[in-house]
Structure 1
């Protein structure tokens, strides 16, 4: 039971800060916040993503490229140009690495208006940090695992961030239904998306990329949006007026 709780906690906390901080804030600026809370969210993203920490600047640039070139040859992670999800993940990882190391100059329209903390980005992206988190996961499993098969969950912990991205980009552009014609292949994979915290409402999101609510129909519930509304009410963040 302890292992299951740990796994689910890591899954949803990592995913929450990926969608809340990296996607909705860094990439789209769906809300504003002060420097104290920005740095707090930055640290929490690092802690909960752990060994699979994703650099907010690199994430934002790639995501903006994805929207601009959705499901075309210039899309950094469209599933329609790869024979399987593993090839897509590898190509995405290589593109991401170029942005992390600043070896690829992005178009001017994709630059700026994202949070940067170079020290934490350096630490979070270092092999020392990634290995340290990996060892902590292993130590936890050694202490609390009650069956051998539980150790099969460890690779998911190691690659949590990229796995979340792969699920969203592969499934969200291949399977499901569409509310809108976005001139791409974006889909809403399921009518209720709790597993991926609303990220699989890709068709809705590509239609309204700056809306903090990924749901469009009454039955499409985005679990993160009510949390953002509460944070807005508490004045921790300020949602864009159009969506507040």
Structure 2
């Protein structure tokens, strides 16, 4: 995408992720490390080397923060072409920003909640990022089916990924890490996010560099 659209995307990411804002740089670098070191001791998040899901997510949080704040040395191959807007990241990732969003969420529930059980969704709104991380990085390496044999434990969580909009096809993604479409291997594997990307590509907002079709034998 163009630099202007890239900056707009940063802002929209902060607006829609709110208190769960994740830096494209911090998460992008960590994600590349996960693929390079999947299910080894160097993996930033792996069920294989953490005693429980909370330990894994706490370690993930610390590694993400260290990468984003450049407190650790990272191989250049993991940082190449990863977008970063340092000043905006510093603001959007700050506790001030997260606290303001939390207050806004509380105010929304206060204004519109009509029953006590609806307040149970407030923690989900506040902690959607770690919940997302748990679903993919923990359960996506324990449960599901595989299309491709690999050296790691990645699984496809759902036959139709209604929950994660395609990211649940984790085994497909690990086999073809640079492929934009996580689905499309079996007829029922529909990557909803990729379909949105195709629309944005058609409109000229983004450019998908490589369209790749893969079918399992």
Which residue is 1:141 aligned to? 109
Which residue is 2:161 aligned to? 193
Q: CA deviation at 1:133?
A: 0.2
Which residue is 1:109 aligned to? 77
Q: Tell me if structure 2 keeps the 8 A contact 1:171–1:200.
A: no
Q: CA deviation at 1:202?
A: 0.6
Q: CA deviation at 1:64?
A: 0.5
Q: CA deviation at 1:145?
A: 0.4
Distance 2:161 2:152 in 1: 21
Number of corresponding residues: 212
Which residue is 2:64 aligned to? 96
Q: CA deviation at 1:86?
A: 1.1
Mapping 1:79-228, distance limit 5 Å: 79-215=47-183, 216-228=185-197
1:171 counterpart SS class:
helix
Give the aligned CA root-mean-square deviation in angstroms: 1.3
Structure 1: runs of 5+ lacking an equivalent: 1-32
Q: Tell me if structure 2 keeps the 8 A contact 1:194–1:222.
A: no
Per the normalisation by structure 1, the TM-score is: 0.84
Distance 1:70 1:89 in 2: 15
Distance 1:110 1:227 in 2: 26
Going by fraction, where is helix more abundant, 1 or 2?
A: 1
Q: Tell me if structure 2 keeps the 8 A contact 1:188–1:204.
A: yes
Structure 2: runs of 5+ lacking an equivalent: none
Match of residue 3, structure 2, among 9, 15, 35:
35
Distance 1:97 1:118 in 2: 13
1:46 equivalent to 2:14? Answer: yes
Q: Residues 78-127 of structure 1, C-alpha deviation per residue, up to 9 Å, x if partnerless?
A: 11222221111111011111112211111121122011111210111111
Distance 1:208 1:241 in 2: 12
Distance 1:192 1:222 in 2: 9
Distance 1:63 1:97 in 2: 13
Higher relative contact order (CA 8 A, sep 6+): 1
Runs of 4+, deviation exceeding 2 Å: 241-244
Which residue is 2:204 aligned to? 235
